[in-house]
Amino acid sequence: MSAQKEINKMEFEEALGELETIVKTLEEGKSSLKDSVNLYERGTMLKKHCDEILESVQLRINQISSDKDGNLKIEPSEMEL
């Protein structure tokens, strides 16, 4: 399984946790150059995955509205129209 496919199956919290671990490892500066580059590449993929999840969640949140009585309703997205 490719690294990107593996990352695409991760939940947000799992991906963010791994990204935080990668950042800490890189900040320590104890990895070889090759390992640092590999970690950076994986971190970039993890960040992109987290950004995509957050964007999706934001779109869903933006669809939630309330009527004059305070009842919540979900508006269809432009993509669903």
Q: Tens of pLDDT along 6-17?
A: 999 999 999 999
Give residue limits of the domains in the chain: 3-80
- Output 79 or 81, whichever has higher pLDDT: 79
| pLDDT given for residue 78 in this prediction | 60
**16-74: pLDDT as tens digits:** 999 999 999 999 999 999 999 999 999 999 999 999 999 999 988 888 877 778 787 77
CA of 73: how far to CAs of 25, 45, 65, 66, 77, in Å? 44, 34, 5, 6, 12
Contact 28, 42 (CB under 8 A): no
Radius of gyration, CA atoms only, the chain: 18
| pLDDT given for residue 77 in this prediction | 62
